Amino acid sequence: MLSKTVIALRARELSHAYGDHTVLSDISLTASAGQRIGLLGENGAGKSTLLRILAGVERADRGSLVRPRRTGLLEQEVRIDPAKPLSAIIEAGISYYRGIETRLQDAAAAMTTDPTAGARYTETLELADAADIWAIDRRRDELLTGLGVAGIPLDTPIGDVSGGQRSRFALAALLLGKPTAVLLDEPTNHLDDASVTFLEQILLEWKGVVIFACHDRAFLDEVATDLIDIDSSSKGATRFGGNSRGGTFTAYLAQKAADRRRWEAQFSSDEAELTALEEVVAVSGMAVSHNRGARDNDKFISKFKGGKVEKQIAHRVRDARGRIHDLEESRVEQPPELLTFAGIPVDSLSPDDTEPLLELHDIRVGTRLAIDSLSIHPQERLLVLGPNGAGKSTLLGVLAGRIKADSGSLSRREGTRFALLEQDVRWSDPRVTPRALYTRYLGDERAESTPLSALGLLSERELDRPVGVLSIGQQRRTALALIIARPPHLLLLDEPTNHLSLTLATELEDALGTYPGAVVVASHDRWLRRRWSAPVLHVRAPG
């Protein structure tokens, strides 16, 4: 007889608001042991809030939740006294096992005076063996090594290490504690490739429930068995997957693409039918117009057919009008525009232009950057790679003319324009709206001929909100819109997929292939790197 799947975590119709701002509405999910669920959604869709509610850190305003007693949460920020040593993070993660150790010691001590303590000792010893508490120190060291922080002494004050190092210690502590349900909020933040691969392997072998929010598409593809897409507009959630063999995000993108093709086909079909019906009404209406005198042919038809033709036409018009009414009530909305650079002209460059846009030699910027030689040509694509601190952002700043090199030479082709999308976007007036910025930048005529909404970067509801209240991702999209509205000859993108939804990040990567000028991208995004087919430049810091 087949055993039934045991649901380890069940949430029903969870809703939560902060003040008058609803973050989650009627979110339901179930998870059983062995399932690894990735949460998708725009920034601000409520993924972090949902994880905190599932962990019991916050309480939902409405709904019900059943979760394992031992549920562990990794938040994006480690909240612990910075004066405490790093060992305090580890100890907090293994308090369950320390409790078993204490109970075992107490039972052993009681055996000298209490004859009944033997049974308690045996029971606790079996629990200790099952929990493998004897291997905690070894497993701790393995985790710290795999996550790249083994060289930091455990007595180091928490405040003396970086936020990324604190997060790695917190992740090690959570995994060391082996909770029944693991909840992870952006677990790959601050991890290098080796550490991400190490974490992937651990989670693939995890026996309990794993639920995580993550912007790392490669990680989602490798780890997730299921995906839950939280819609920030409707506040609902859609589940996708059941793929235990990996490739879940790839399959999700394929499903989304197929859904969009069906959506576009249905919209086109509805529009074509609506146009045909409106033509029937217009033409038939002219045929039965009551505002003209009868012609000889009309008299003939009226005499011999008793107005039968007019009745048929009137019936046809009524049917058409009824169908028009039904279509207008039920037809699907037009699919939103996909991000594209196709058709955007770059001034004064022809497809056969091969003269370099810029050339640099022996560039040095303090201890941040060392580049011996680099030239960028029209329509070229270049991906800049390197570890944190290798100088990727510094190089883009040099190419854009925002950072002056200490030594070396850089020549730019006369008349060419360069634009840089930085990681941190700052606005001189945070009260201005994206629509106003766009119009001010382009002028009324160009802004009207190519509206901001047509670029596929911002939704209608975001166009008239002050940029200062938009999310980081929405602000970066606004900055990108201003750049591509007047496309430069050289487009420089610093970590372009940061703070974007996963769908929009994928759209942006696809759109780069249609950009009419040269593109240089600096990124640590593994998904982007895996799909990149153009040249790659590895940078290094001097020394």
CA dihedral angle for residue 522, residue 523, residue 527, residue 533, rounded to 10 degrees: 20
- What does the pLDDT read at residue 336? 77
Task: Give mean pLDDT, residues 90-98.
Answer: 85
pTM of the predicted protein model: 0.81
Q: How far apart are CA 219 and CA 221, in angstroms?
A: 5
- What does the pLDDT read at residue 361? 94
pLDDT (tens digit per residue) in 123-180 = 778 777 777 777 788 999 999 999 999 989 999 999 999 888 999 999 999 999 999 9
- What does the pLDDT read at residue 409? 93
Mean pLDDT of the chain: 85
- What does the pLDDT read at residue 61? 94
CATH architecture group of domain 7-250: 3-Layer(aba) Sandwich (3.40)
pLDDT (tens digit per residue) in 323-361 = 888 888 888 888 877 777 766 666 656 666 778 999 999
pLDDT (tens digit per residue) in 196-233 = 999 999 999 999 999 999 999 999 999 999 999 987 55
* 234 or 12, greater pLDDT: 12
pLDDT (tens digit per residue) in 486-495 = 888 999 999 9
CATH fit for domain 358-538, picks 3.40.50.300, 1.10.3720.10, 3.40.47.10, 3.30.479.30 = 3.40.50.300
- What does the pLDDT read at residue 2? 39
Q: Which of 30-34, 184-188, 319-323 is the least confident region?
A: 319-323
What is the DSSP code (8-state) at residue 7?
E
C-alpha angle with apex 62: 60 to 64, nearest 5 degrees? 80
Q: How far apart are CA 477 and CA 504, in angstroms?
A: 10
Place of tokens 């928490």: 158
Q: How far apart are CA 131 and CA 176, in angstroms?
A: 11
* 140 or 112, greater pLDDT: 140
pLDDT (tens digit per residue) in 182-200 = 999 999 988 889 999 999 9
- What does the pLDDT read at residue 262? 92
Query: CB neighbours of 111 closer than 8 A, spacing ≥ 6?
Result: 117, 118, 121
**Phi-psi region at 306: left, alpha or beta (left = phi > 0; alpha = psi -120 to 50):** left
Does the pLDDT value for residue 308 go beyond 80? no
pLDDT confidence tier of residue 504, bands split at 50, 70 and 90? confident
Same fold, 7-250 and 358-538: yes
Does the pLDDT value for residue 288 go beyond 70? no
pLDDT (tens digit per residue) in 459-501 = 788 899 999 888 777 888 899 888 888 888 999 999 988 877 8
Distances (CA, A) of 335 to 127, 231, 330: 57, 16, 15
Query: What percent of the chain has a predicted confidence (pLDDT) above 70?
Result: 90
- What does the pLDDT read at residue 309? 66
Which has the closest alpha carbon to 446: 348, 515, 344? 344
pLDDT confidence tier of residue 1, bands split at 50, 70 and 90? very low
Query: What percent of the chain has a predicted confidence (pLDDT) above 90?
Result: 41
C-alpha 457 chain-centroid distance: 14
Which has the closest alpha carbon to 16: 52, 67, 66, 68? 52
- What does the pLDDT read at residue 321? 82
- What does the pLDDT read at residue 480? 87
pLDDT (tens digit per residue) in 235-249 = 568 888 877 677 899
Where do the structural domains in the chain lie, given as residue ranges?
7-250, 256-330, 358-538
Q: Which of 20-34, 55-69, 112-126, 306-320 is the least confident region?
A: 306-320
- What does the pLDDT read at residue 291? 46
Helix ranges (H only) for 189-339 are 193-204, 217-223, 248-287, 296-305, 308-330
Does the pLDDT value for residue 89 go beyond 50? yes
* 417 or 103, greater pLDDT: 417
